[in-house]
Amino acid sequence: MNNRLRLLAIIEATSITGPAKNLIEFASLAGAEGIDTVIATFVRGAGSNVFLDRARTEGIPLEQIPESRAFDWSVVRALREMAMRVRPDVIQTHAVKSHFLARAAGLPRIAPWVAFHHGYTFTSRKTQFYNQLDRWSLPAAGQVLTVSGPFRDELVAKGVDRRRIDVIHNAIRPDWGREARKEESARALRERWRIPEHRAVVLIVGRLSREKDHICLLRAVRSILARREIQLVVVGDGPERAPIEAAIRELGLGDFVTLTGQQPSAEPYYGIAAIAVLSSLSEGSPNALLEAMAAGVPAVATQVGGIPEIVTHEESALLAPPGDSDALAAALLRILVEEPHLGEALASRARTLVLERHTPQARVCTLSRIYHSVAARPVSHARTATAKES
């Protein structure tokens, strides 16, 4: 008797974003839990990008859905035909576009549907409009997974039954960042970016978008420079790069901020970091926080989303109110200047939390139980949910 489960995971990704990284890691480990994963993704032009290359390297089966533009309605039929061919036991979707297309293509009539909600970006009014599509899509999903309690509350407000929502935090390998802490690697990276040895590095990793509130962090850096010379290293790229560059000039921070742009991996940068910071206005289960915890770098973050569910103020991180540059600066100065041993204590406790709660194996086991449970439901459950919301 074959008890293995076939999971079809649909995601829009061209680079290794947090959701993409987590999906690839899950697919690589879930075979041991009886789950064979096929990843379907949307492609324009040549069928090669960082995400596809990484998935191929891991040996994960891939299905490519060609599209010519943002609203290419031929994708709906292609998606349905692909799902009929793959014959999954469970269909999983990631983010607004995949949720919408899965329902539009009638995929809940093919297999039970699990929608994975990672939160929203607010880069433009158009993006905010797209986010509203979840009001139509997600109530039809048999199960919805999200990454924090506040996100669960948002989904309930969009019409999703709270009883069908599970909160699953992200995970990180416990040895993540270990190689980056080697002195030779750190020295080479400082030389590459011309960061003076005497400057403590404050690191922020993530997409340059409004909800990350880099401008607030820049104001905090200006305050800190009155007491301690530091270098803010910003890893990532995105639509807010131009406003961030303008703020750097306006605040006179040109010599004290390094914009690295998109990098193949943020891991080396934790090797030069004295502190990792998240200045976000909104977060789910941020990979950047987990990366700092695993790498042994003390974290300063805002009290938003799932962050307080992962770390505790004064015990495993320092937390500040969102949008408060003075509070952010004060927290950073406690570690940099006022309490020299605080950072080490925070980082030590945070690493323990990674081992206790946030390993990839633990996450895979939790997700596997959910998928096997969902797979046991009749497909008519998905049809019923869809009919009720139509």
Q: Tell me the DSSP string of 11-25.
A: E--SS--HHHHHHHH
Tens-place pLDDT, residues 223-270: 999 999 999 999 999 999 999 999 999 999 999 999 999 998 899 999
Residue 323 has pLDDT above 70, yes or no: yes
Q: State residue 179's pLDDT score.
A: 80
- Tokens at residue 36, please? 């064979």
- Tokens at residue 14, please? 């061209």
179-357 has the same fold as 5-171+359-389: yes
Residues 5-171+359-389: name the CATH superfamily: Glycogen Phosphorylase B; (3.40.50.2000)
Q: State residue 122's pLDDT score.
A: 66
Q: Where are the domains of the chain?
A: 5-171+359-389, 179-357
Residue 382 has pLDDT above 70, yes or no: no
Separation of alpha carbons 219 and 208, rounded Å: 16
Residue 172 has pLDDT above 70, yes or no: yes
Identity at 52, one-letter amino acid code:
L
Q: What CATH topology corresponds to 179-357?
A: Rossmann fold (3.40.50)
Q: In the chain, what are the helix, strand and coil shares in percent, each to the nearest 5?
A: 50, 20, 35
Q: State residue 1's pLDDT score.
A: 40
User: Contact at 8 Å (CB) between 123 and 238?
Assistant: yes
pLDDT category at 389 given cuts 50, 70, 90 is very low
Mean pLDDT, residues 22-29: 94
pLDDT category at 46 given cuts 50, 70, 90 is confident
Separation of alpha carbons 18 and 282, rounded Å: 15
Mean pLDDT, residues 213-228: 97
What is the strand order of the sheet 318-320 is part of?
257-261, 230-235, 200-205, 273-278, 299-302, 318-320
Q: State residue 2's pLDDT score.
A: 60
Mean pLDDT, residues 25-30: 95
Q: pTM (2 decimals)? A: 0.85
Which range has the top average pLDDT, 40-49, 179-188, 219-228?
A: 219-228
The tokens 């569910």 sit on which residue?
Answer: 309
User: Contact at 8 Å (CB) between 99 and 137?
Assistant: yes
Residue 390 has pLDDT above 60, yes or no: no
